[in-house]
A and B are shown apart, each in its own frame.
Chain A
Amino acid sequence: MRQFVEGSHAVAEIVKRCRPGVISAYPITPQTHIVEDLASMVANKELNAQFVNVESEHSAASVVLGGEATGVRSYTATSSQGLLLMAEVVFNIAGLRLPLVMTTANRAVSAPINIWNDQQDVMTVRDSGWVLLFAETNQEAVDLHVQAYKLAEDKRVMLPVMVNMDGFILTHGMEVLDMPSQEEVDKFLPPYTTKYKLDVDNPLTMGYLADPDYYLEIRYMVQDTHKQLLDIIPQVAADFKKAFKRGEGNGLVEGYKLEDADQVFVAMGSVCGSIRDVVDDLRAKGKKAGLLKVISYRPFPKDLVAGALAKAKEVAVVDKSISLGAFGPLYTDVMASVSSLGAKMPKMSGFVLGLGGRDITKKSIMDTYERLSGKQVDCEFIGLKKELLVEDKLNG
């Protein structure tokens, strides 16, 4: 059904249709509208679930860990500092192979405190073993949640999945979108069953101590599952496309005017929408620009990325976060991927934009484009206000 709806409300609606039995959350801007809606649905019997209000994100993640351990589909959502406080549990959930789904309303990280959007928060749990998906639009956010549960609970996977959506830009943005019906979701996403759960009739021990004789192999198995996910994600995306008559790319990446592009932007999340506009403007002027959107950041589809960039002359990787002291995280992954191209590797440039909610305008994207023909850069901040970069002379 077509609806004009706020991103957070849309996410709550689709999570309801995924029928989680345990929901736990701690409030943090800009995640709150999602969990408020779910609480209201439970309070009005629109959703049969246990809604557990907790005293911290650490406990929110621990409660849904416990819920999943009983074999019940569970859900939580957070952002920024909340995700950082959860980090210990986030790693633990993946290590326990629990198929949780979480929404992260991406936001900047303190200090200074800043409630606005960038993608720094998720990068702190990049190495946790979770599948990390990024939505460009609210339609995609809705669709990714359904696919997230399908992926997580796939017996070949059994790993948690995080749907990332840019805070405010998507969570508080209104969009016309197609909301799948309960029947459609039920058909695509059957009830969750597992034999790996806490069950008094089959008492399992979960969360062992693994010494050096075992730990390496257990970690390798998570890495191996991520390798398999590079095949499984496109399968699930294709099934979704068949069932719902829409979908983005192959579930891992999506190209826009990429085939003959000389200059290619690589990006994740809502910024891709603005980049499409810039690509159109450039094409209108006869410039062969294109976009490679990364949907699945973990697993990182290195071969697809390298293949998509093989014919490009210049590439601009657009990061909305930074590994301080090094590069943008996406830039690092793209660089590692294109290294396989050898002499055919395009001229690669890395840019950092939009930290802490600084608007990414068409002009700032054009700035990156214009720098592609100049000196090669690996971590260039776009839109810096030079006058703010001097120390306070009054107190000097």
Chain B
Amino acid sequence: MVETLFKPGHTACAGCGQAIAARLVIDTAGKNTMIANNTGCLEVFSTKYPESSWGVPWIHSLFENCSAVASGIEAGLKYLGKKDSINVIAQAGDGGTADIGLQAISGMFERGHDVLYVCYDNEAYMNTGIQRSGLTPTLSNTTTSPSGSASIGNPRPKKPMPEIAAAHGIPYVATASTGYPQDIQRKVKKALSIKGPKYLQIHVPCPLGWRHESNLTFDVAKLAVETGLYPLFEYENGKLIPRKIAVIKPVEEYLKVQGRFKHLMKNPEAIKEMQAIADANIAKYNLRPEV
């Protein structure tokens, strides 16, 4: 069996993109790491008493405070003179990050704590049953932004969390995707080599919430990136470093494999709107390969 700090036997759903990403993150960070975890799927499926998947010191407090708990852990380690040898990671889902946890994360960034924050972005409140969050994409059908005779799903775009993080002037911000495991490993390694607050947002497919086949997790994740709907990039000291898309695909290829976008398939205007979002991303983050 492969040696891992995120042990099997947890209760994540088949094909859970978050479980895959979380294992990649902690195995890259290594055993000299402490984690503060917000409430959410990851916490629930990995630490049901009396069992735990975690091979590193791990604490869960509440839904919105992992940034502040991690700040306190960092302060405690500094007091003990141990901070230089130990990584501190705060991690949460998209709701715990961009909505209810936003104030605490902003405080942690502003104070300059040496903490890597990882947001596992499955684009809705999956733990409570697929309710809309601030990171739910445009026109997605969730249980609280349903499509109906007077609605075509979530009316608002994703909150620009990486830009919000970058606006704090922190040294490293990046997006990543379950579809690109080595890219996650590289970005975690890079983030942990930098002192100060870091923000990593990983796109993690949720077969149950996105309503795709559980064996399609990697394909769906890759399609989000290849269409430009989930741009991969880094801000290193504010400087944009894009991950170029080799062959750009039309958004339908990503949308059509997911039940949450099924209602758009007979709506050419909606598809056009989604394509415009992808095109804007491609332009904004300079994702088109150089010829």
A63-B72, A69-B72 known; 16 new pairs, CB 8 Å cut-off, are: A55-B106, A55-B107, A59-B107, A65-B65, A66-B36, A67-B72, A67-B79, A69-B59, A70-B80, A72-B76, A96-B59, A198-B34, A207-B43, A209-B44, A209-B48, A214-B50
B86 at the interface (CB under 8 A from A): yes
User: Which stretch, A45-53, A266-274, A298-306, touches the partner chain B?
Assistant: A45-53
| Chain A residues within 8 Å of B, Cβ to Cβ | 21-22, 24, 48-50, 52-56, 58-60, 62-72, 74, 88-89, 92, 96, 198-200, 203-211, 214
A52 touches B104 (CB 8 A): no
Q: In this complex, what residue of A is CB-closest to B63?
A: A88
Q: What are some 30 contacts across the A-B interface (CB < 8 A)?
A: A22-B79, A50-B76, A50-B78, A54-B111, A55-B103, A55-B106, A55-B107, A55-B110, A59-B65, A62-B104, A66-B75, A67-B73, A67-B75, A68-B76, A69-B59, A69-B76, A70-B73, A70-B77, A96-B61, A198-B58, A199-B57, A200-B31, A200-B56, A203-B57, A205-B59, A206-B58, A208-B49, A208-B50, A209-B47, A214-B49
A22 touches B76 (CB 8 A): yes
A66 touches B69 (CB 8 A): yes
Least Cβ–Cβ distance between A75 and chain B, in angstroms: 12
Bound state CA distance, A199 and B32, in angstroms?
A: 9
Known A-B contacts A58-B68, A208-B47; A70 and B76 likewise in contact (beta carbons under 8 Å) = yes
Which residues of chain A are within 8 angstroms of B69 by Cβ–Cβ distance? Answer: 62-63, 65-66, 69
B60 touches A207 (CB 8 A): yes
B62 at the interface (CB under 8 A from A): yes
Which residues of chain A are within 8 angstroms of B103 by Cβ–Cβ distance? Answer: 55-56, 58-59
B72 touches A52 (CB 8 A): yes
Which of A50, A63, A204, A214 counts the most B-chain CB atoms under 10 A from its CB? A63
Bound state CA distance, A59 and B105, in angstroms?
A: 10
Bound state CA distance, A352 and B166, in angstroms?
A: 52
Q: In this complex, what residue of B is CB-closest to A20?
A: B79
A62 touches B72 (CB 8 A): yes
B54 at the interface (CB under 8 A from A): yes
Least Cβ–Cβ distance between B127 and chain A, in angstroms: 11
B75 touches A198 (CB 8 A): no
Which of A62, A64, A66, A200 counts the most B-chain CB atoms under 10 A from its CB? A66
B55 at the interface (CB under 8 A from A): yes
Bound state CA distance, A204 and B78, in angstroms?
A: 20
Find B71's partner among A48, A52, A74, A198 (CB 8 Å cutoff). Answer: A52
A74 touches B72 (CB 8 A): yes
B55 touches A66 (CB 8 A): no
Bound state CA distance, A109 and B106, in angstroms?
A: 27
Which residues of chain B are within 8 angstroms of A53 by Cβ–Cβ distance? Answer: 111
Which residues of chain A are within 8 angstroms of B55 by Cβ–Cβ distance? Answer: 203
Complex interface residues of chain B between 123 and 167 (CB less than 8 A to chain A): none
Least Cβ–Cβ distance between B90 and chain A, in angstroms: 10
Find A209's partner among B43, B71, B80 (CB 8 Å cutoff). Answer: B43
A54 touches B68 (CB 8 A): yes
Least Cβ–Cβ distance between B113 and chain A, in angstroms: 9
Least Cβ–Cβ distance between B85 and chain A, in angstroms: 8
B185 at the interface (CB under 8 A from A): no
Bound state CA distance, A53 and B59, in angstroms?
A: 22
Bound state CA distance, A145 and B103, in angstroms?
A: 31
Which residues of chain A are within 8 angstroms of B76 by Cβ–Cβ distance? Answer: 21-22, 50, 66-72, 74
Known A-B contacts A58-B104, A89-B65, A203-B57; A198 and B47 likewise in contact (beta carbons under 8 Å) = no
Which of B48, B55, B72 counts the most A-chain CB atoms under 10 A from its CB? B72
Bound state CA distance, A54 and B110, in angstroms?
A: 10
Bound state CA distance, A24 and B73, in angstroms?
A: 12
B58 touches A22 (CB 8 A): no
B72 touches A200 (CB 8 A): no
Q: In this complex, what residue of A is CB-closest to B90?
A: A66
Question: 5 shortest A-B CB distances, which residue pairs?
Answer: A66-B72, A70-B76, A62-B68, A207-B60, A55-B107
Q: In this complex, what residue of B is CB-closest to A204?
A: B57
Bound state CA distance, A380 and B107, in angstroms?
A: 45
B52 at the interface (CB under 8 A from A): yes
Which residues of chain A are within 8 angstroms of B78 by Cβ–Cβ distance? Answer: 50
Bound state CA distance, A245 and B238, in angstroms?
A: 61
Complex interface residues of chain B between 75 and 117 (CB less than 8 A to chain A): 75-80, 86, 103-104, 106-107, 110-111
Q: In this complex, what residue of B is CB-closest to A206?
A: B59
Which residues of chain A are within 8 angstroms of B34 by Cβ–Cβ distance? Answer: 70, 198, 200
Bound state CA distance, A92 and B77, in angstroms?
A: 21
B4 at the interface (CB under 8 A from A): no
Q: In this complex, what residue of A is CB-closest to B49?
A: A208
A59 touches B79 (CB 8 A): no
